[in-house]
Each structure stands twice: as structure tokens, then as C-alpha cells.
Chain A
Amino acid sequence: MSKDLNSGIPTDNEVILGILNNSESVLKRLYLAYFPMVLQLIINNSGNEDDAKDIYQEAIIVLYNKVKAGDFELSSKLKTYIYSICRRLWLKRLSQMNRYSGDIKDFQEYLVVDDETEKNNERDIQFNKMGSALQLLGEPCKTIIEDFYIHNRSMQEICESFGYTNADNAKTQKYKCLQRLKKLFFQQK
């Protein structure tokens, strides 16, 4: 019985609750449940398995963010929703690569989804900028910033792992790093 609960396709409500509760197992079951459907869509419409992975993960992230933001209303089956997002993302990708021939082979019914992928796209641009700014920042700044602002480690821990003589030195270093990161971030077009 418990095995049944932890495997197979999760119900739509399970997924939403699971995401809200950061449930690793629900995320996994969700991922495993619908990947074949998306793989089928992509590989039969001039994509490969890596494209399928990218598109599918992007769609899961869209769903994840929407649920987390609390503005997710399920107006159809989750399966249809995910398929529609992937379809939309893939069409966009195809036309960017000039490979869109005007027709797409469908395997599911789908909804028209537009603005949601757009919103996510905006955020992706910001994240890409942040990623490359962090790369340009170099060490040890990158790790300090990541440890403090992303992984929520205390200044005391950071201070110890980097071997700073006192926390104030580490704080000054962190301040300088953050200023540089901001500069790098906003310099990018």
C-alpha cells in the first residue's frame, strides 16, 4: 500500500501539495510520469532527447514557480497543462532555429498557453545575467557570495572556511564582492 503511494503517476493535487511542501518524492514521480510524453513530442518533431530534457525541465520549472508563487489554478488536467507548455516552448525554439516547418505532430490535446512562458523567459534572462556575473566575479568572491546569500551560511562559518582572521575582515571582503557583483550584473546588456 505504501509502495503504491510512493510510485506511479501522482494525482494533480498531490503534485501541487508536494511542490508547496518541497517533497522530493513527488517531484520525482511528477518528473518520471510525464517525461515520456514530452520526449515523444520532441523527438517526433525534429528534436532530440537533449532538447526534450531542456524543454521538459523548463516546463517543470514554470509549473514549479507558478505553484510556489501561489497563482497556479488548474483549469485542465496537469498532464495537458505540461504538454501545452512544452509544445509552446518547443514551437518557440523551433522557430528560433528556423526549423519550424509550419506543422507539428501532436500526441495529446493541448491548451493555448502564452504569457506564462513569457514571464518565465524574462526571469531566465535575469538568471543568465546573474550566472555570468558570478562567473566573471571569480574566486573567492563567488563562493563567499554563494555561501552567504544563497546557502544562508553565517559570516562566522564563512570566516572559518576561508581562514580570515576575524569576521570583520570577511564582512569587508563580502561587501566588496557584492559591490563588484552588482557592477558586473548591471553592466551586462
Chain B
Amino acid sequence: MNEYKLSEEIERYLNGEMTKEERTAFDILRKENAEVNVMVTEHKHFTGLLKQYGERLELESRLDAIHREIDVHTLKEELMVHPSWVVQLWRSHHSKISVAASIAIFAVLGTLFFTGYLSNRELNYVRLRGEVAKIHQQANNLNEKLNRLNGSGRVISNPGKYRGTGFAITSSGLIATNYHVIEGADSVYVQNNAGKSFKAKVLYSEPENDIAILKIVDTSFRNLKPIPYTFKRLESDLAESVYTFGYSQEAPVYDDGKLTSANGLNGDSLDYQISIPINPGNSGGPLLDTRGNIIGIVQAKQTQMEGVHFAVKSSYLLSAIDSLEKKVNLNTKNTLVNLTPVQQVKKLKNYVFMVKVYDK
């Protein structure tokens, strides 16, 4: 039997086209001849695969036919999770945007650098003491007149050329103020609420943060009562009610407002921005929240925008205190916390000093 004949037989056998006798004979052949048996199995497998392949093609064409009835385009529109156009824009163009942004940043920084804007922060400020000097002159005149009117009265020590405010850090006579208040000073005096002046020396200063710490060295100075307020280490929140108390005039002045921005001029993270109407002489004064925490040092004002003022954050003051040679134990017990503003200020006034500076 040649292969062709055999293959025909196998096909007939598998398709069940053989007679009973032929089938029996073929079964015997399969059993006796292993080669034939393998051929039968192989043929069965192969034609089976062919058949399945055909069925698969048919199923696929059926599915394709069904698929053609679906309006895929409309469906797609409906089902797409549409990110906002910003996200889409970013996804499709992020490399271009990145390059553009880098160039823009570089250009802006370059321009700022070459125009000297970056190195000239001072230009934006008018130091409060400038204005203070002017007002001070008027105050002096008034004082003189008052003295003359009163004949003798209480002795008013000759006020210094510049005036700012300072507040006690410790009861032993450490006073915090702004650096610019005492900048270039020959001698510094602080004057308490009762009008008594004490000689002080500049213990420590940080011009870059506009912080100075004074120490009262006058022999007539007696230690203060325990400090009633505490110093806040964390940043305060926007819209928090804040107030200050300082010597914008001969007598101490209370002013309140809100914390309006966590950053100062040009995004300077050193400062808070506050909406308190700061007056000349407030520089160096304490900025407190309603619970009696010191949250900053009132600093300076911007020339262009009225009603915008700044305060150095208390965290900078705390790190300045930390860097003092002699370790300072700060008050941790806040006795102002539940008091009304009136009561708070009543206590506070004993700890806020006028800072007078005499030039060389």
C-alpha cells in the first residue's frame, strides 16, 4: 500500500466511511503497525487543527460583523476619561513646556541679575527710623515746651536720635528689636513704660534677618517680673488676628490687624505680611496673636503699597536666641492666653521698651 492509498484509508477510517469489516481490519493494522498508528493520530490531530482554525476564522468574522454595527467613535467620546485641558496639554507637550519654562526662568533670573534687582532689596524699604527721626524732632520740641510749661516735672532723659521698639525676651533684661533700629549705633538706651531709661548694649545682631538682641547693662535695672508671653516656634496661619504694641509715639500704641500672607516682600520667607497700620517707631516691636504668643517682630514698610507691612517671623528670632553664647531659658508659661486684649496689653506694656539710639 503506498502512502497515498494509506492516507485515503486513514481518512475514510476517521470519517467513519468504512464498512464494519474494513474497520475491523484497519483496527488490526493499527495495532500491528505502529507506524500506521502514528500516522492516524497525526492525521487526526492535524485535520482537527485545520478544522478548529476554520472555526476560529469563522467566529472572528462573525465578531467582526457584530463589531461593525457599533458606533465605536461616539462610544469612545463618551467613555474617555477626559482630564482637564491643562493635564492634556501637559501630557502631550510636557517636554516642550519644560524647555520653555526653563528658558523663561533663566531669562527672568538673568534679567533680574543684570539689572541689579536681586542684590538691592533695600531699595524697596524705607526704614522706619527715617520717618521716626522726623517725628522725633517734633516730639523733642513738644517735650521741651512741656518741660518749660511744667517748670520742672519729671525728668525726661534726652531722647536718642532714632527710635524704635524692643521687647523683653527674658526677665533679666534681654531685649529683642530690629537690627536696622540699632544699626550704626554708638550707644543704645531703652526706656520703659514708666519713662525710665536704662543703658543697654548690643549683645547679638543678624543684619541679614534684621534681628538684634540687646542686653540692659544699667546698674539701676532690676529684674522684670516673669515674662507673660511665649514665643511661637511654628508658623502662624493666614487670617489670624494679630496685634502689636509699640512706641510709634512717645506713649505706647496698640494696633491690631490680620496676618495676610506667609511671605513678605517678593516672596521673602523671612517675613509675614500683616495688615496692621504700622507707624514710625513700631519697628522692633512684638507681633502677638490673640492668645499672647509672640509670632514676630514688626519690621518695616514697603514704599509703593500703602497698608502692607511686614514682621520677621518668630522662628528666626528663636534661632537667633539659640545662637547666643550664653544659653537662654525662655519662658514657656503663657499667662496671657485667656485674657482679653485689654488685660493682655496691661500686662504687656511693662515688657515693651522704647529703643533710643545715639549716633557716633
- Cβ of A146 within 8 Å of any chain B Cβ, yes or no, is yes
Q: Which of A40, A126, A171 contacts B79 (CB 8 A)?
A: A40
Measured in the bound complex, the distance between the Cα atoms of B348 and A50 in whole Å is 76
Known: A40-B79, A64-B59, A105-B81. Is A175-B4 also a contact (CB below 8 A)? yes
Contact B79 A44 (CB under 8 A): yes
Contact A131 B53 (CB under 8 A): yes
Known: A31-B63, A35-B70, A175-B7. Is A149-B79 also a contact (CB below 8 A)? no
User: What A residues does B46 contact at CB under 8 A?
Assistant: 182, 185
Interface size of A in residues (CB-CB distance below 8 Å): 35
Known: A27-B62, A127-B53. Is A175-B8 also a contact (CB below 8 A)? yes
> Please, which residue of chain A has its CB at the minimum distance from the CB of B72?
A49
In chain B between 1 and 43, which residues have their CB closer than 8 angstroms to a CB of chain A?
4, 7-8
Interface membership of chain B positions 40-66, coded 1 if the CB is closer than 8 angstroms to chain A and 0 otherwise: 000000110111111111011011101
Task: Give the shortest distance, in Å, between A188 (CB) and chain B (any CB).
Answer: 13
Contact B54 A53 (CB under 8 A): no
- Cβ of A20 within 8 Å of any chain B Cβ, yes or no, is no
User: What A residues does B53 contact at CB under 8 A?
Assistant: 126-127, 130-131, 150
Q: Which of B57, B66, B80 contacts A28 (CB 8 A)?
A: B66
Known: A24-B62, A49-B72, A149-B54. Is A172-B4 also a contact (CB below 8 A)? yes
User: What A residues does B63 contact at CB under 8 A?
Assistant: 27, 31, 57, 60-61
Contact A149 B47 (CB under 8 A): yes
Contact A44 B75 (CB under 8 A): no
- Cβ of B76 within 8 Å of any chain A Cβ, yes or no, is yes
Contact B50 A145 (CB under 8 A): yes
Measured in the bound complex, the distance between the Cα atoms of B51 and A151 in whole Å is 8
In chain A between 113 and 156, which residues have their CB closer than 8 angstroms to a CB of chain B?
123, 126-127, 130-131, 145-146, 149-151
- Cβ of B67 within 8 Å of any chain A Cβ, yes or no, is yes
Q: Which of A43, A44, A57, A151 contacts B54 (CB 8 A)?
A: A151
Task: Give the shortest distance, in Å, between B16 (CB) and chain A (any CB).
Answer: 14
Measured in the bound complex, the distance between the Cα atoms of B46 and A123 in whole Å is 13
Q: How many A-B residue pairs have CB under 8 A?
A: 76
Contact A146 B60 (CB under 8 A): no
Contact A43 B76 (CB under 8 A): yes
User: What B residues does A150 contact at CB under 8 A?
Assistant: 50-51, 53-55, 57
- Cβ of A86 within 8 Å of any chain B Cβ, yes or no, is no
User: What B residues does A52 contact at CB under 8 A?
Assistant: 72
Measured in the bound complex, the distance between the Cα atoms of B67 and A53 in whole Å is 8
Interface membership of chain B positions 64-101, coded 1 if the CB is closer than 8 angstroms to chain A and 0 otherwise: 10110110110110111100000000000000000000
> Please, which residue of chain B has its CB at the minimum distance from the CB of A41?
B79
Q: Give the residue among A127, A182, A185 with the most B Cβ atoms within 10 A.
A: A127
Contact A27 B66 (CB under 8 A): yes
Contact B4 A49 (CB under 8 A): no
Measured in the bound complex, the distance between the Cα atoms of B78 and A49 in whole Å is 13
Measured in the bound complex, the distance between the Cα atoms of B52 and A149 in whole Å is 10
> Please, which residue of chain B has its CB at the minimum distance from the CB of A64?
B59
User: What B residues does A146 contact at CB under 8 A?
Assistant: 54
Known: A53-B67, A150-B53, A172-B4. Is A43-B79 also a contact (CB below 8 A)? yes
Task: Give the shortest distance, in Å, between B145 (CB) and chain A (any CB).
Answer: 80
Measured in the bound complex, the distance between the Cα atoms of B63 and A60 in whole Å is 9
Task: Give the shortest distance, in Å, between A47 (CB) and chain B (any CB).
Answer: 11
User: What B residues does A172 contact at CB under 8 A?
Assistant: 4
User: What B residues does A149 contact at CB under 8 A?
Assistant: 47, 50-51, 54
Measured in the bound complex, the distance between the Cα atoms of B46 and A130 in whole Å is 10
Contact B54 A32 (CB under 8 A): no
Measured in the bound complex, the distance between the Cα atoms of B73 and A2 in whole Å is 30
Q: Which 6 A-B pairs have the closest CB atoms?
A: A150-B54, A40-B79, A149-B50, A130-B53, A31-B66, A49-B72
Can you show 24 pairs from A to B with CB atoms below 8 A apart? A27-B63, A31-B63, A31-B67, A35-B67, A35-B75, A39-B75, A40-B79, A43-B76, A43-B79, A49-B76, A53-B67, A57-B64, A61-B56, A61-B59, A126-B49, A126-B53, A127-B53, A130-B53, A149-B47, A149-B51, A150-B53, A171-B8, A172-B4, A185-B46
Q: Given contacts A127-B53, A178-B7, could you give 17 more A-B pairs where the C-beta distance is less than 8 Å?
A: A24-B62, A27-B63, A32-B69, A36-B75, A36-B79, A39-B72, A44-B80, A49-B72, A49-B73, A49-B76, A57-B67, A64-B59, A130-B53, A145-B50, A150-B50, A171-B8, A175-B7
Which residues of B line the A interface, CB within 8 A? 4, 7-8, 46-47, 49-57, 59-60, 62-64, 66-67, 69-70, 72-73, 75-76, 78-81
